[in-house]
Amino acid sequence: MTKLIGLLIAVAGLVAFPLVFDNPYYIHLGTTILIYTILLFGLDIVVGYTGQVSLGHAGLFGVGSYTAGVLMLKLGLPFYLTLPAAIIVTSFFGGLLALPALKVVGPYLAMVTLAFGTILQILINEMDFLTEGPMGITIKKPFIFGHEATEQEYFWMVALGMAIALIVVHRILKSQLGRAFEALRDSPVACDCMGVSVYRYKVYAFVISAGFAGLAGALYSYSERYISPNTYNNELTVLFLLAIIMGGRKSRLGAIIGAVIIVMLPKLLDDINLFRIVALSLAVLVTLGSILAVNRQISTPKKLAIPVIGTIGLALFSFWLNQITDWRLSIFGVMILLVVYYLQDGIVGFVRNFSGALQGSKSRTIDVSHLYGNNPLDVIQNAANHSGNGPILDVKKVLMQFGGLKAINNVDIRIARGTIHGLIGPNGSGKSTMMNVLTGIYVPTDGEVLFENNSVVGKTSSDIALSGIARTFQNVQLFGEMTALENILVGLHHTFKSTLLDVSLHLPRYKKEEQFARERAFGLLKFVGLDSLATEEARNLPYGKQRMLEIARALALDPNLLLLDEPAAGLTAPDIKELLAVIRKIRDHGITIILIEHHMEVVMSVCDQISVLDFGQKIAEGKPAEIQSNEKVIEAYLGGSAT
Ligand code: ADP
Ligand code: MG
């Protein structure tokens, strides 16, 4: 209900704005804010959700502007054709920008994307047969009902575009696509091993993001009525990134706030009186907030001293100044420093944390069970297919060499269908390396791995995962910023067939898939006893629960073979008991399990067959009782250190 009222107020505000501020200058500022907002929605997909840096978005913005401008100049196309064309052309360039992101990360990616933006700007400048070069292109506002749109009418058109962009981006980010973007940020390796190709979704993210930049660029060209190459420079690209950081990543409201800041800040720094008012209000707000925070013991005076002194200082300084022009850049720099240092989650994140802390750490756990009914779901669908003959997995003479080190040396292992197969050995004996070979993270130097009679060697991790091998990791690899339920939903990604169009329009196919996936995800949480923690962020779960969540997420893949890498490591005794029960339940569903474990009571009580590795070689194999009495195994492993 409050949401609906908020929405109505927002819509009324947008409709009323150009009527209230009946001045072309203010209306134009408002239009620019809305246009930047659209671009920031897109940039946030790349920066906030996939966690990649992009300094190429001003270039993409330019591509959008120039696509619209050139099509209008050369072909006289109307805006309802130039806008879609700008989106499509810019998306293509977004795909190009994604290519370096597949190879490099962090500062390197920042450099490459910066170069990409610069190249685009130079191209626009040089291709004067198309773009008129430095002369720029003069453009008329769109024609509606036979006349050129007024500033006011154009504001409404852009507001409509922004509203549509908001709905579309929000739907994308709440869907399986958005979850894939977040998953690849939090753990690329786990993302691939859940059948969600990091490669593919990074490209998608850049392409979709560029689509928004293209729309924004095209709208901008009509808004300015004149475009020239030097608008789309590196300063603008840094400003865009700053807007995301200041507003708050992973937030639509953050994008809006960011756009307001980058459009208004230069104006603010032009007008000394306005600057004084804002500096004073800021000082009052920060001081009152700090007093409140100290009172409620959310923070200490020591921590708050610098922001309080800083903002009061800024306010005093503003009254001491006679004119502002000489100080603009310095003030801008100081503000950026303060924001980047103190508001790392942006304004939206800060307010959220602050109000969350004020309300106390009330558990946000919501009981969602009523949403899903109580009928027993067949959550594990893939009760393994028993029709096949022979071993489910056949590892033949596998060699895995790292430089001179043979981490796995000529190992043969056959895993019988429907069994729990233990893999034990001292630390560094090659157990985890074997898992990585089986799941495509490493390509073996030599040898053959057959799963269901098909070779997995050379296949990508995500293809192997989709073929039915799921895994957990020795060092838990959850998607930390996502809830427990969302983590499982990433595992269920393979059940989605819906496209970008289904998602954007909320077509029945998508709605059905989402509903069904949520029911199953909840069922899987129940299966491992985590249903009451469905809405808790994975990184906030206790360690034992995190391990359980990882198992449930792996089951979401409907695997035939499940690889567990030291699932009991770091667990308490009661947790281990629970884990054992879950492992047995999984086996009873017909899923074959390979279990790496150091806890001998776990291994010996559930395994049907055990292989022992030492220095990369298989030194023994057999039933638990045989292994326990095997001389070689006792000497190499069980002897002193059986824990
Ligand atoms: P385990 O899981 O049995 O404790 P691992 O499979 O993790 O052992 O490691 C086996 C050996 O391979 C270790 O000596 C380890 O240092 C080495 N190793 C594993 N991965 C790599 C890698 N990517 N590069 C170089 N050496 C590696
Ligand atoms: Mg290991």
Instruction: Look at residue 365 in the predicted model and tell me its pLDDT.
Output: 47
Average pLDDT of the chain?
Answer: 89
Give the type of residue at 49: Y
- pLDDT tens digits along 490-540: 999 999 999 999 999 999 999 999 999 999 999 999 999 999 999 999 999
Residue with tokens 């629970």: 578
For ligand 2, a single-atom ion, the residues with CB < 5 A are 432, 474
**Alpha helix segments (H runs only) across 225-251:** 234-247
Between CA 46 and CA 255 the distance in angstroms is 13
Percent of the chain with pLDDT over 70: 95
How many residues does this entry show for the chain?
643
**Torsion-angle region of residue 121: left (phi > 0), alpha (psi -120 to 50) or beta?**
alpha
User: Kind and range of the H or E element at 479?
Assistant: none
pLDDT above 70: residue 412: yes
pLDDT class for 639, splitting at 50, 70, 90? low
pLDDT above 50: residue 470: yes
Residue whose CA is at the smallest distance from ligand 1 atom 20:
433
**Of all atoms in ligand 1, which is nearest to the CA of residue 429?**
3
Instruction: Look at residue 631 in the predicted model and tell me its pLDDT.
Output: 85
pLDDT class for 380, splitting at 50, 70, 90? low
Q: Which of 400, 423, 433, 563 to mutate to test the pocket of ligand 1 (most atoms within 8 A of CB)?
A: 433
Between CA 222 and CA 4 the distance in angstroms is 32
| Distance in Å, CA 463 to ligand 2 centroid | 23
Instruction: Look at residue 632 in the predicted model and tell me its pLDDT.
Output: 84
Contact call for residues 64 and 214 (beta carbons, < 8 A): yes
Query: Closest ligand to 474 CA?
Result: 2
Q: Which of 402, 475, 563 to mutate to test the pocket of ligand 1 (most atoms within 8 A of CB)?
A: 402
**Of all atoms in ligand 1, which is nearest to the CA of residue 596?**
2
Between CA 13 and CA 567 the distance in angstroms is 54
Residue whose CA is at the smallest distance from ligand 1 atom 16:
428
Percent of the chain with pLDDT over 90: 63
| Distance in Å, CA 612 to ligand 2 centroid | 13
pLDDT above 60: residue 476: yes
**Of all atoms in ligand 1, which is nearest to the CA of residue 616?**
10
| Distance in Å, CA 407 to ligand 1 centroid | 6
Instruction: Look at residue 374 in the predicted model and tell me its pLDDT.
Output: 44
Contact call for residues 401 and 407 (beta carbons, < 8 A): yes
Question: CA-based Rg of the chain, rounded to a whole angstrom?
Answer: 29
Fold equal for 24-270 and 376-638 = no
pLDDT above 50: residue 183: yes
In order of 157, 517, 575, 579, 589, the CA distances from 529 in angstroms are: 51, 18, 11, 10, 17
Mean pLDDT (whole number) for 273-284? 87
pLDDT greater at residue 296 or residue 602:
602
Instruction: Look at residue 343 in the predicted model and tell me its pLDDT.
Output: 79
**Of all atoms in ligand 1, which is nearest to the CA of residue 435?**
6
| Distance in Å, CA 433 to ligand 1 centroid | 6
pLDDT above 70: residue 364: no
Mean pLDDT (whole number) for 439-449? 95
Ligand 1 pocket by Cβ (under 6 Å): 402, 405, 407, 425, 427-433
Query: Closest ligand to 433 CA?
Result: 1
Residue whose CA is at the smallest distance from ligand 1 atom 5:
430
In order of 293, 332, 357, the CA distances from 362 in angstroms are: 17, 38, 9
State the pTM of this model: 0.90
**Of all atoms in ligand 1, which is nearest to the CA of residue 428?**
8
Fold of 24-270: ABC transporter involved in vitamin B12 uptake, BtuC (1.10.3470)
User: Kind and range of the H or E element at 183?
Assistant: helix 176-186
Residue whose CA is at the smallest distance from ligand 1 atom 18:
407
pLDDT above 80: residue 34: yes
> Integer distance in angstroms from the first to the last C-alpha of the chain?
57
Residue whose CA is at the smallest distance from ligand 1 atom 7:
432
Mean pLDDT (whole number) for 326-330? 75
- pLDDT tens digits along 14-32: 988 988 888 899 999 999 9
Instruction: Look at residue 381 in the predicted model and tell me its pLDDT.
Output: 58
Phi and psi (nearest 5°) for 56?
-105, 5
| Distance in Å, CA 556 to ligand 2 centroid | 23
For the chain, give every domain's residue range.
24-270, 376-638
CATH code: domain 376-638 is 3.40.50.300
Instruction: Look at residue 362 in the predicted model and tell me its pLDDT.
Output: 47
| Distance in Å, CA 631 to ligand 2 centroid | 23
Mean pLDDT (whole number) for 233-260? 91
Q: Which of 189, 405, 471 to mutate to test the pocket of ligand 1 (most atoms within 8 A of CB)?
A: 405
pLDDT above 80: residue 371: no
Instruction: Look at residue 291 in the predicted model and tell me its pLDDT.
Output: 87
Phi and psi (nearest 5°) for 387?
-65, -30
Between CA 498 and CA 507 the distance in angstroms is 9
Between CA 224 and CA 216 the distance in angstroms is 12
pLDDT class for 379, splitting at 50, 70, 90? low
pLDDT greater at residue 1 or residue 59:
59
Query: Closest ligand to 473 CA?
Result: 2
Instruction: Look at residue 369 in the predicted model and tell me its pLDDT.
Output: 52
Strands (E), 43-186: 137-138, 143-144, 147-148
Instruction: Look at residue 321 in the predicted model and tell me its pLDDT.
Output: 81
Query: Closest ligand to 434 CA?
Result: 1
